[in-house]
Amino acid sequence: DIVLTQSPASLAVSLGQRATISCRASQSVSTSSYSYMQWYQQKPGQPPKLLIKYASNLESGVPARFSGSGSGTDFTLNIHPVEEVDTATYYCQHSWEIPPTFGGGTKLEIK
Amino acid sequence: QVQLQQSGAELMKPGASVKISCKTSDYTFSSYWIEWVKQRPGHGLEWIGEILPGSGITNYNVKFKGKATFTADTSSNTAYMQLSSLTSEDSAVYYCAKGNYSHWGQGTLVTVSA
């Protein structure tokens, strides 16, 4: 199985500043055309919410404050400027092969 | 709008089986995979497997083979997951999601306790 390692495990960012979350895959999840990496936001008591698909494509209805980048084995989720409502845990997930696996999560706190 | 409505919380005895439902609406149920995901505190999110309702084709995470069984009823647009031989390790929240993960059920809490 592909292992996804997220960092940091938690971070605190001041209101209006930038949050950067990294996800490293144990093998490449990209072709020359697509990167099979998704990002989710999860708040307590709620299911995950898809934010970004194919590494950098914003899901419909997701604010443009969220952006994704990367290819191969290294991917990044950026949130700028952060808002109070962004307090949540964020997960990366690959869809390169079965089984798709998730990163361990990054808990974001807004200062 | 697309909705996935899961059945309610279950309290089960060890060794029992439980069947969770995921009733969908407002999309072509038979054409999209239904994904099943497990979440336990401290264990993150785990993909259990998927079913394509129109054909009944299933894919299972090797880790859950023999534990989970997927079925789907296209007449009621409902997917099911049965978990067998329950142990404390099966205590978790279980989610169903539409194949592209754009829509999720609200989750079903399964608690296994004697």
What does A63-96 look like in DSSP terms, one character per residue? -TTEEEEEETTEEEEEESS--GGG-EEEEEEE-S
Residues of chain B with a CB closer than 8 angstroms to some CB in chain A: 37, 44-47, 49, 59, 61-63, 95, 97, 100-102, 104-107
Report the residue count for chain B: 114
* Minimum Cα–Cα distance from B39: chain A residue: A47
Q: What type of residue is A44?
A: P
A23 and A76 in contact (C-beta within 8 Å)?
A: yes
Asked if residue B42 has pLDDT above 90, the reply is no
Of B44, B46, B107, the CB nearest to A47: B107
- CB proximity A47 to B under 8 Å: yes
**Nearest-CA distance B17 → chain A (Å):** 24
* Residue range A22-40, pLDDT digits in tens: 999 999 999 999 999 999 9
Task: Provide the token pair at B107.
Answer: 């989750």
Give the span between the Cα atoms of B41 and B6, in whole angstroms: 20
For residue B43, name the pLDDT band (cuts at 50, 70, 90).
Answer: confident
* Residue range A90-107, pLDDT digits in tens: 999 999 999 999 999 999
Give the span between the Cα atoms of B88 and B82, in whole angstroms: 16
Of B44, B63, B95, the CB nearest to A47: B95
Over residues B67-91, the mean pLDDT reads 98
Give the span between the Cα atoms of A67 and A9, in whole angstroms: 19
Interface touch A98/B104, C-beta < 8 Å: no
A15 and A110 in contact (C-beta within 8 Å)?
A: yes
* Residue range A50-69, pLDDT digits in tens: 999 999 999 999 999 999 99
Question: In angstroms, what is the C-alpha Rg of chain A?
Answer: 13
Q: What type of residue is A57?
A: N
